[in-house]
Amino acid sequence: MSDMRTLGEFIVEKQHEYPTASGELSSLLSSIRLAAKIVHREINKAGLVDITGGFGSENVQGEQQQKLDVYANEKFKAAMAARDQVCGVGSEEEDDVVIFDEAHGLNAKYVILMDPLDGSSNIDVNVSVGTIFSIYRRISPLGQPANLDDFLQPGNKQVAAGYIIYGSSTMLVYTTGNGVHGFTYDPSIGVFCLSHENMRIPEEGTIYSINEGNYIKFPQGVKKYLKYCQENEPEDNRPYTSRYIGSLVSDFHRNMLKGGIYLYPSTAAYPSGKLRLLYECNPMSFIMEQAGGKASDGKQRILDIKPTELHQRVPYFVGSTHMVDKVEAFLRDSPDQE
């Protein structure tokens, strides 16, 4: 952090890359920055206040909500509603989209999709968690309430995406389609400072991240790829290292910095995969491609998938390009793939 450029300064500095920009996107990113600071504060108090543990209800996916899931969802929603740039929010924690139909919301240009607190069940054991966000330009007419079509856009229509990782330090990483940049939060002065400019993932890596406890349920192609990762081929840097935290943001962040692949294939329990296309896969895939990596459902580019429902799930393979290419090849050659 030698030059100590803050996130706010960096956003303003980069506005020249968008000649048609009028400041709305910059203001929107500032709202996300504010909500991230608030959630950071509460996460760092976990264990000291009654903020950990289950909330006592399930979200639309049938998953037990944690108290911090609900807290983060409300804080990010409030931050979006307070600005004039967002006409609606889609959240993993909400059954339906939340439409801002007040006067300022009707003329807002953007919608946001988000996973307010990815990996929240890890809070109780002090493991890193994160927030994932995705920004689209609305396609419905200005002056009217947003509708579901504004949210069901393919990932290649994203104008910005990012994640916040709350770990040993809190980092905000984002892209607007011109590279990936990371900012580390300095709590002593309350600002995010540029720490990782133009982040790039190595084309090849030596880390694979998957819940191998589900091995017996994986497609044959994935099983063969895991055996490939474990083979002793020193000239090819194999066997690879297995690293799995169970928090998408944490595993993704490590692999992007060091090189690696994250896999969440379909299983018998989740034949369409478990991760959500709109809240997790699309934003992380946009970031990964901007960092020089690749993201696939095993057959096609994630960002080219046309969503058909708000909480749609997909198999997910993301990381170093050569590693994703390899697992796609195993899946193509496997008999249980259509």
Q: Which residues line the annotated binding site for Mg(2+)?
A: 92, 115, 117-118, 280
Between CA 327 and CA 225 the distance in angstroms is 6
Annotated binding site: 92, 115, 117-121, 211, 244, 262-264, 274, 280
Residue numbering of the annotated binding site for substrate: 118-121, 211, 244, 262-264, 274
The Cα 93–Cα 215 span in angstroms is 28
**For residues 180 and 167, what is the distance between their CA atoms, to the nearest angstrom?**
19
Cβ-proximal residues to 17 (8 Å cutoff; 6+ apart), any chain? 176, 178
The single residue listed with the structure tokens 């496997």 is 334
Outline where the chain has alpha helix (H). Answer: 7-14, 24-43, 67-81, 103-106, 220-230, 248-258, 282-290, 321-332
Q: Are 316 and 251 in contact (CB under 8 A)?
A: no
Instruction: Give burial (CB, 10 Å; 0-12/13-18/19+) of 258.
Output: middle
Question: Could you tell me which residues come within 8 angstroms of residue 318 by beta carbon, excluding any fewer than 6 positions away?
Answer: 252, 261, 262, 281, 284, 285, 288, 293, 294, 295, 296, 302, 324
Contact (CB, 8 A) for 104 and 110: no
Cβ partners under 8 Å of residue 83, min gap 6: 27, 28, 31, 104, 108
Rg (CA), the chain: 20
